[in-house]
Amino acid sequence: MALLIALALFVAQAINFGLILRDRTEFRLAQATRPVATRIADALEREAHAGRPLTADRGRVRRLTANPLAPFAYQRHPEVAAELRRQLADQGLTVGRIDTGLRPVSDDDAEPRRRKGLRNTNRQGDRQGDRQGGTLVIAVEQPGRGWLAITAPWPQPGWRLLFALLSQTAILYVIVLLPVLWIVRRMSRPLRDLRAAAEAFRPGEPGIALSVRGPDDVAALVAAFNALRLRVTAMLDEKDRMLGAIGHDLRTPLAALRVRIESVEDDTDRTRMADTIAEMNRTLDDILSLARLGRPSEPPTDVDLAALVDAVVEDFRDIGNNVTFVEAGRLRMHLRPSLIRRAVRNLIENAVKYGVSAEVRVEADARRVAIVVADQGPGIPEDRMGDVFDAFTRLETSRNRETGGIGLGLALARAIIREAGGEIRLVNRTGGGLNAIIELPR
């Protein structure tokens, strides 16, 4: 906004400068040609009435036999000649060539000019020309009668005009731009606060309502955001209560079933029933965890990430899985340990289930920490890498519980890691196998 206002003022000043420069040019032409045309007309009229020719020492117009500007390499001004011809035509005078030359103000060439017959009897005009930067020598040809010579002051464009424009621009910026910027900043401050509040909004975290201020539209927007945050929080609270009730209502009959199967005499059937109930409990835990992930009840704490991953690996080794951990030094991180533990466990479960074994290592540099779970499985087709993170998606389509779950492990792991500000990548290794990489910012 400030840049646009400053640019608009600059463009306006540039246009103003162009108009002033054009007016200044027209004024210089008028100042140089109108008095000259009048003097020439008066001199010719006096010459006609008196019957005596003009001489070099009579009046301001001299009659010469040749062009007095021919021997001199003066700077020519054809625009002055064209304007003077028009002025003379308006007064009924028809002339031949008109030559102009700007005589620089210099004492060194004053004497040669006098010897050449260019001495101006109008010394006041010379002094005026000297003060203004130069003297314009004008030679007008009268066919068959010689040349008429006259001098006129020629105002030179100097730094005064540019300095005046720059001063005007600076004053305009101070008087107009600074107050406008201050007003715009005050008007946009509620919008900046609203953006910051929207970026910082986290479901489940207490927030302070924004003060309703600013222009009417901005104030209405802030009030609508406050109301929206309250509605979202109320909906999430209601969702948590509903999920808690669902979890309680489902776990109660599952627990009852778990008790009832103890009365089943067939050991094989009883074991299968117990496994089914345990799988239902795990599925229920995954669904509830995924649904409640936006409002975790566990606060972030400082933990040793290497020790946390090592503990998860140790749990798998205790139940006989082929999982190894590459020792790493202490790595202090600020995170939610139970959720990170859940994400790492889901990756290791997939590695063990589909890749027989898993090797887990922690790598760290100045900007990130990576938890790498490498398996020896067949890998994942490149065109299906993104599909495996979708909820309830399995690449193995047999729906056999022995060869996979319900497709929530990777979806839950990615949701946990993204909530922590990280990301999960799956990379097929060249020699076979898959690397599941958790990347967390330091």
Separation between Cα atoms, residue 264 and residue 122, nearest integer Å: 135
Beta bridge partners of 368: 441
CA distances from 67 to 44, 113, 310 (A): 18, 14, 106
Q: What is the pLDDT of residue 112?
A: 46
The larger pLDDT score, comparing residue 239 to residue 324, is at: 324
Q: Work out the mean pLDDT of the chain and round it to a whole number.
A: 78
Q: Could you give all domains of the chain from N- to C-terminal order, each with its CATH number? A: 2-157 (no CATH), 299-441 (3.30.565.10)
Query: Which strands sit side by side in the sheet containing 146-153, from one edge to the other?
Result: 62-64, 146-153, 135-142, 98-103
Q: Is the pLDDT of residue 308 over 90?
A: yes
The residue behind tokens 């000297």 is 130
The residue behind tokens 């030094």 is 329
Q: What is the pLDDT of residue 325?
A: 92
User: What's the 3-state SS for 81-140?
Assistant: HHHHHHHHHHCCCCCCCEEEEEECCCCCCHHHHHHCCCCCCCHHHHHHHHHHCCEEEEEE
Query: pTM higher than 0.75, yes or no?
Result: no
Separation between Cα atoms, residue 305 and residue 340, nearest integer Å: 9
What is Dmax (Cα atoms) for the chain?
Answer: 153
- 288-309 mean pLDDT: 77
Phi, psi of 111 (to 5 degrees): -65, -45
Q: Is 154 exposed, middle or buried (0-12, 13-18, 19+ CB in 10 A)?
A: buried
- 97-106 mean pLDDT: 79
Separation between Cα atoms, residue 124 and residue 107, nearest integer Å: 16
Q: What is the pLDDT of residue 133?
A: 54
Which tokens go with 214?
Answer: 């600013």
Which tokens go with 85?
Answer: 């011809």
pLDDT in tens, 245-271: 777 777 788 888 888 888 888 888 888
Of the pLDDT bands very low, low, confident and very high (cuts 50, 70, 90), residue 122 is very low
pLDDT in tens, 133-183: 578 888 888 888 888 888 888 766 656 666 777 787 788 778 877 887 788
Instruction: Tell me which residue of 223, 102, 108 sits closest to 157, measured CA to CA.
Output: 102
Instruction: Tell me which residue of 251, 238, 296 sits closest to 417, measured CA to CA.
Output: 296
